[in-house]
Structure 1
Amino acid sequence: MSQLAKLFINGGSRAVRLPAPYRFDAKEVFIRQDPETGDVILSRRPSNWDSFFAALKDAKVPVDFLGLEERGGRR
């Protein structure tokens, strides 16, 4: 179900007033834009990186996934 959020000017910036069910219990959120639709997406900022590193460990990423230069090495 879609709801409307109000847009307003706050200082020199455009701001969004989120309806109560969509509010974040945080001071910051991640923001990104879908390149296909242009939709703006807000998501929770993790309090720590533990879940990221756990997922990375389970992902079985090959050691040569990044090139030498991207891994901080030299040519």
Structure 2
Amino acid sequence: MTYARVFQSGNSQAVRLPKEFRFDVEQVEIFRRGDEIILRAIPSTAEGIMDILAQLPNDFMATGREDPPSQKRESF
């Protein structure tokens, strides 16, 4: 397992990434997934988005999704 060092940089916390984890972009997307913090290059094309979608597990939404019942509303 590879580790990274966490340190303070001004008022921000920073992480020094090992060489093999370097990004080739100037900005990354950051988000939490459970107790993980994920960093990834921001997809700028449809191809990039398709690559991200391809990483979803095979059983993603296998049981479908639960939609609320339709609402009756007045016509415009």
Q: TM-score, with normalisation over the residues of structure 1?
A: 0.58
Alignment of 1:39 onto 2:36: yes
- Counterpart-to-counterpart distance in 2, 1:6 and 1:22: 13
Query: What is the match of residue 17 of structure 1?
Result: 16
Gaps of 5+ in 1: 54-74
Per-residue CA deviations over 1:1-58 (Å, capped at 9, x if unaligned) read x2110011111000000000001011111111112xx111111112x223238xxxxx
Q: How many residues matched?
A: 50
Correspondence list, 1:1-75, <5 A: 2-35=1-34, 38-46=35-43, 48-51=44-47, 52=49
The share of aligned pairs that are identical, in percent, is 34
Q: TM-score, with normalisation over the residues of structure 2?
A: 0.57
Which residue identity is paired with 1:39? E
Which residue identity is paired with 2:15? V
Larger Rg: 2
